[in-house]
């Protein structure tokens, strides 16, 4: 299951992570975000410790969304070594999301 994190947790869990991380920037009122949620949960189950999957609610953590240039949701950003390595805007399949961290 993709865990929802906040700004405080972001630095530790994403920027200091020793493996790739996928972060879904979403909002509870967003239809495509709700469609993507089960795909992300499935992806998190398949990660097998190779990468992590987190979610950030842009209404609760607006500063993070602004910092990473999130203009549309869902926006999925892949990080590795504390740096943004890939970005996808809109709905995506599990295979498309896996490619973000490969």
Write down the domain spans for the chain. 3-100
pLDDT at position 39 over 90: yes
Active-site residue identified among 2, 5, 21, 33: 33
34 catalytically annotated: no
Residues in the chain: 102
The stretch 23-43 carries a mean pLDDT of: 96
Long-range contacts of range 60-64, CB-CB < 8 Å, 24 or more positions apart? 60/6, 61/6, 61/7, 61/10, 63/7, 64/7, 64/10, 64/25
**What is the pLDDT, as a whole number, of residue 59?**
97
97 near 76, Cβ under 8 Å?
Answer: yes
Residue 30 annotated among the catalytic residues of the structure: yes
Pick the CATH number of 3-100 from 3.40.50.10320, 3.30.450.20, 3.40.50.970, 3.40.30.10: 3.40.30.10
pTM: 0.95
Round to whole Å and give the CA distance between 3 and 43: 12
Check 17, 27, 30, 44 and give the catalytic one.
30
Q: Is the pLDDT of residue 26 over 90?
A: yes
* Residue pLDDT, tens place only, 46-87: 999 999 999 999 999 999 999 999 999 999 999 999 999 999
How confident is the prediction for the chain on average, in pLDDT? 96
pLDDT of residue 102 exceeding 90, the answer is no
E strands, the chain, where? 3-4, 21-26, 52-57, 75-80, 83-89
Query: For 2, which DSSP code?
Result: P
Rounded to whole angstroms, the Cα distance separating 15 from 94 reads 23
d(CA 50, CA 71): 29
């Amino acid at each position: 299951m993709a865990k929802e994190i906040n700004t405080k947790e972001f630095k530790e869990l994403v920027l200091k992570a020793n493996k790739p991380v996928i972060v879904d920037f979403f909002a509870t009122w967003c239809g495509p975000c709700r469609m993507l949620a089960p795909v992300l949960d499935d992806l998190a189950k398949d990660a097998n410790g190779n990468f992590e999957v987190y979610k950030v609610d842009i209404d609760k953590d607006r500063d993070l969304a602004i910092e990473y240039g999130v203009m549309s949701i869902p926006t999925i950003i892949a990080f590795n070594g504390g740096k943004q390595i890939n970005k996808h805007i809109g709905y995506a399949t599990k295979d498309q999301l896996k490619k973000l961290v490969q």
